[in-house]
Chain A
Amino acid sequence: EDQVTQSPEALRLQEGESSSLNCSYTVSGLRGLFWYRQDPGKGPEFLFTLYSAGEEKEKERLKATLTKKESFLHITAPKPEDSATYLCAVYSGSARQLTFGSGTQLTVLP
Protein backbone atom coordinates (compact mmCIF):
# COMPACT_ATOMS: atom_id res chain seq x y z
CA GLU A 1 0.00 0.00 0.00
CA ASP A 2 1.32 3.42 -0.99
CA GLN A 3 2.04 5.78 1.88
CA VAL A 4 2.80 9.51 1.90
CA THR A 5 3.88 11.41 5.02
CA GLN A 6 4.30 15.18 5.07
CA SER A 7 6.15 17.21 7.67
CA PRO A 8 5.79 19.46 9.46
CA GLU A 9 2.01 19.49 9.84
CA ALA A 10 2.09 23.26 10.27
CA LEU A 11 4.78 25.90 9.71
CA ARG A 12 4.80 29.58 10.57
CA LEU A 13 7.39 31.79 8.88
CA GLN A 14 8.18 35.46 8.88
CA GLU A 15 8.06 37.14 5.48
CA GLY A 16 11.42 36.53 3.79
CA GLU A 17 12.33 33.57 6.03
CA SER A 18 13.16 30.65 3.70
CA SER A 19 12.31 27.04 4.63
CA SER A 20 11.54 23.58 3.26
CA LEU A 21 8.58 21.22 3.42
CA ASN A 22 9.16 17.47 3.39
CA CYS A 23 7.23 14.67 1.68
CA SER A 24 8.35 11.10 2.44
CA TYR A 25 6.84 8.29 0.41
CA THR A 26 6.71 4.50 0.27
CA VAL A 27 5.46 3.17 -3.05
CA SER A 28 6.00 0.24 -5.34
CA GLY A 29 7.07 1.67 -8.67
CA LEU A 30 6.80 5.46 -8.53
CA ARG A 31 5.27 6.85 -11.71
CA GLY A 32 5.08 10.47 -10.58
CA LEU A 33 5.14 12.79 -7.55
CA PHE A 34 2.91 15.88 -7.51
CA TRP A 35 2.82 19.04 -5.43
CA TYR A 36 -0.39 21.00 -5.05
CA ARG A 37 -1.34 24.16 -3.20
CA GLN A 38 -4.77 24.41 -1.56
CA ASP A 39 -6.34 27.60 -0.25
CA PRO A 40 -9.19 27.42 2.29
CA GLY A 41 -12.49 26.43 0.69
CA LYS A 42 -10.90 25.75 -2.71
CA GLY A 43 -9.69 22.76 -4.66
CA PRO A 44 -5.99 21.89 -4.94
CA GLU A 45 -4.02 23.94 -7.48
CA PHE A 46 -1.29 22.12 -9.40
CA LEU A 47 2.29 23.29 -8.81
CA PHE A 48 4.82 20.65 -9.95
CA THR A 49 5.21 17.11 -11.11
CA LEU A 50 8.47 15.12 -10.74
CA TYR A 51 9.09 11.75 -12.33
CA SER A 52 12.60 10.58 -11.42
CA ALA A 53 15.16 10.93 -8.62
CA GLY A 54 17.40 13.94 -9.09
CA GLU A 55 14.77 15.95 -10.93
CA GLU A 56 14.18 19.57 -9.87
CA LYS A 57 11.57 22.15 -10.91
CA GLU A 58 11.17 25.81 -10.05
CA LYS A 59 8.36 28.34 -10.15
CA GLU A 60 8.78 31.82 -8.74
CA ARG A 61 9.75 31.36 -5.05
CA LEU A 62 9.15 27.59 -5.05
CA LYS A 63 11.53 24.78 -5.94
CA ALA A 64 10.68 21.07 -5.79
CA THR A 65 13.27 18.29 -5.62
CA LEU A 66 12.97 14.49 -5.66
CA THR A 67 15.05 11.62 -4.25
CA LYS A 68 14.24 7.91 -4.15
CA LYS A 69 12.50 8.26 -0.78
CA GLU A 70 11.38 11.86 -0.40
CA SER A 71 10.64 15.19 -2.01
CA PHE A 72 11.27 18.68 -0.73
CA LEU A 73 9.43 21.88 -1.51
CA HIS A 74 11.80 24.75 -0.89
CA ILE A 75 10.28 28.20 -0.36
CA THR A 76 12.67 31.12 -0.83
CA ALA A 77 11.87 34.52 0.70
CA PRO A 78 8.17 33.72 1.14
CA LYS A 79 5.44 36.35 1.08
CA PRO A 80 2.10 36.36 2.95
CA GLU A 81 0.33 35.32 -0.26
CA ASP A 82 2.25 32.03 -0.12
CA SER A 83 0.17 31.08 2.93
CA ALA A 84 -1.78 27.90 2.07
CA THR A 85 -1.81 24.15 2.62
CA TYR A 86 0.74 22.36 0.45
CA LEU A 87 -0.17 18.81 -0.55
CA CYS A 88 2.11 16.09 -1.86
CA ALA A 89 0.75 13.13 -3.85
CA VAL A 90 2.23 10.05 -5.54
CA TYR A 91 1.06 7.87 -8.40
CA SER A 92 2.43 4.34 -8.44
CA GLY A 93 2.15 1.63 -11.04
CA SER A 94 0.80 -0.83 -8.49
CA ALA A 95 -1.94 1.32 -6.96
CA ARG A 96 -2.87 3.11 -10.19
CA GLN A 97 -4.29 5.99 -8.19
CA LEU A 98 -3.14 9.30 -6.75
CA THR A 99 -2.34 8.97 -3.02
CA PHE A 100 -2.12 12.21 -1.03
CA GLY A 101 -0.38 13.13 2.17
CA SER A 102 -2.19 15.14 4.86
CA GLY A 103 -0.49 18.38 3.84
CA THR A 104 1.60 21.11 5.47
CA GLN A 105 -0.28 24.24 6.50
CA LEU A 106 2.04 27.18 5.82
CA THR A 107 1.46 30.61 7.35
CA VAL A 108 3.69 33.51 6.31
CA LEU A 109 3.48 36.50 8.62
CA PRO A 110 4.10 40.05 7.32
Chain B
Amino acid sequence: DAGVTQSPTHLIKTRGQQVTLRCSPISGHKSVSWYQQVLGQGPQFIFQYYEKEERGRGNFPDRFSARQFPNYSSELNVNALLLGDSALYLCASSLKGTPENIQYFGAGTRLSVL
Protein backbone atom coordinates (compact mmCIF):
# COMPACT_ATOMS: atom_id res chain seq x y z
CA ASP B 1 0.00 0.00 0.00
CA ALA B 2 1.23 3.48 -0.84
CA GLY B 3 2.13 5.66 2.10
CA VAL B 4 1.78 9.41 2.30
CA THR B 5 3.18 10.98 -0.87
CA GLN B 6 4.40 14.54 -1.17
CA SER B 7 5.45 16.60 -4.17
CA PRO B 8 7.74 18.07 -5.16
CA THR B 9 10.67 16.51 -3.28
CA HIS B 10 12.80 19.62 -3.48
CA LEU B 11 12.02 23.22 -4.37
CA ILE B 12 14.11 26.36 -4.72
CA LYS B 13 12.42 29.76 -4.63
CA THR B 14 13.48 33.36 -4.16
CA ARG B 15 12.24 35.82 -1.55
CA GLY B 16 8.80 37.23 -2.26
CA GLN B 17 7.67 34.31 -4.43
CA GLN B 18 4.77 31.99 -3.72
CA VAL B 19 4.90 28.20 -3.40
CA THR B 20 2.38 25.33 -3.40
CA LEU B 21 3.16 21.98 -1.84
CA ARG B 22 1.04 18.90 -2.39
CA CYS B 23 0.17 15.86 -0.30
CA SER B 24 -1.75 12.64 -0.96
CA PRO B 25 -2.79 10.76 2.19
CA ILE B 26 -2.83 7.02 2.77
CA SER B 27 -5.89 5.47 1.14
CA GLY B 28 -8.82 5.64 3.57
CA HIS B 29 -7.34 8.40 5.69
CA LYS B 30 -9.51 11.50 5.95
CA SER B 31 -7.29 13.80 8.00
CA VAL B 32 -4.17 15.62 6.81
CA SER B 33 -1.80 17.72 8.91
CA TRP B 34 1.08 19.95 7.83
CA TYR B 35 4.30 20.56 9.75
CA GLN B 36 7.41 22.68 9.29
CA GLN B 37 10.74 21.21 10.39
CA VAL B 38 13.78 23.43 10.62
CA LEU B 39 17.16 21.68 10.70
CA GLY B 40 17.94 20.38 14.18
CA GLN B 41 14.41 20.90 15.50
CA GLY B 42 11.30 18.80 15.79
CA PRO B 43 8.34 19.33 13.44
CA GLN B 44 6.15 22.33 14.23
CA PHE B 45 2.40 22.12 13.62
CA ILE B 46 0.95 24.37 10.90
CA PHE B 47 -2.54 23.07 9.99
CA GLN B 48 -4.86 20.12 10.38
CA TYR B 49 -7.75 19.32 8.04
CA TYR B 50 -10.44 16.69 8.47
CA GLU B 51 -13.22 16.05 5.98
CA LYS B 52 -12.18 19.20 4.06
CA GLU B 53 -12.56 21.47 7.09
CA GLU B 54 -9.81 23.18 9.04
CA ARG B 55 -9.58 21.56 12.47
CA GLY B 56 -6.51 23.30 13.86
CA ARG B 57 -4.02 26.03 13.10
CA GLY B 58 -0.57 26.53 14.62
CA ASN B 59 1.26 29.76 15.34
CA PHE B 60 2.11 30.70 11.76
CA PRO B 61 1.42 33.97 9.89
CA ASP B 62 -1.44 34.41 7.43
CA ARG B 63 1.04 33.96 4.57
CA PHE B 64 0.49 30.23 5.20
CA SER B 65 -2.75 28.71 3.98
CA ALA B 66 -4.00 25.24 3.11
CA ARG B 67 -6.96 23.36 1.79
CA GLN B 68 -8.19 19.79 1.49
CA PHE B 69 -9.91 18.43 -1.58
CA PRO B 70 -12.87 15.97 -1.88
CA ASN B 71 -10.39 13.12 -2.49
CA TYR B 72 -8.70 14.10 0.83
CA SER B 73 -5.48 15.27 -0.80
CA SER B 74 -4.19 18.62 0.39
CA GLU B 75 -2.20 21.65 -0.64
CA LEU B 76 -0.13 24.01 1.48
CA ASN B 77 0.44 27.50 0.09
CA VAL B 78 3.01 29.98 1.30
CA ASN B 79 2.96 33.54 -0.03
CA ALA B 80 5.63 36.26 0.08
CA LEU B 81 8.40 33.80 0.93
CA LEU B 82 11.03 34.79 3.48
CA LEU B 83 14.49 33.32 3.99
CA GLY B 84 13.23 31.91 7.28
CA ASP B 85 10.67 29.79 5.46
CA SER B 86 13.46 27.48 4.31
CA ALA B 87 12.69 24.13 5.91
CA LEU B 88 11.42 20.59 5.42
CA TYR B 89 7.63 20.64 5.07
CA LEU B 90 6.00 17.45 6.24
CA CYS B 91 2.52 16.13 5.60
CA ALA B 92 0.94 13.51 7.85
CA SER B 93 -2.29 11.61 7.42
CA SER B 94 -4.52 9.79 9.88
CA LEU B 95 -7.89 8.03 9.77
CA LYS B 96 -9.57 10.83 11.70
CA GLY B 97 -8.45 14.04 13.37
CA THR B 98 -8.48 12.69 16.91
CA PRO B 99 -5.44 11.98 19.13
CA GLU B 100 -6.19 8.27 19.22
CA ASN B 101 -5.38 8.10 15.52
CA ILE B 102 -1.72 7.71 14.65
CA GLN B 103 -0.29 10.25 12.21
CA TYR B 104 1.81 8.76 9.41
CA PHE B 105 4.30 11.07 7.73
CA GLY B 106 5.45 11.52 4.17
CA ALA B 107 9.09 12.07 3.22
CA GLY B 108 8.56 15.83 3.02
CA THR B 109 9.30 18.67 0.62
CA ARG B 110 12.60 20.44 1.11
CA LEU B 111 12.06 24.16 0.43
CA SER B 112 15.02 26.47 0.00
CA VAL B 113 14.38 30.23 -0.20
CA LEU B 114 17.23 32.28 -1.65
Contact = CB atoms under 8 A, between A and B. Distances in A.
Interface of A: 4, 31-32, 34, 36, 41-46, 49, 51, 87, 89, 91, 93, 96-103
Contacts of A100: 35, 42-44
Contacts, number: 56
Main secondary structure, interface of B, reads loop
Given A97-B48, A97-B56, A100-B43, A31 B107 contact: no
Interface size range on B against A: 20 to 34
A73 to B, nearest CB: 14
Contact of A97 (B45, B104, B107): B45
Contacts of A32: 99-100
Contact of B105 (A41, A44, A96): A44
A98 B45 contact: yes
Contacts of A102: 40-42
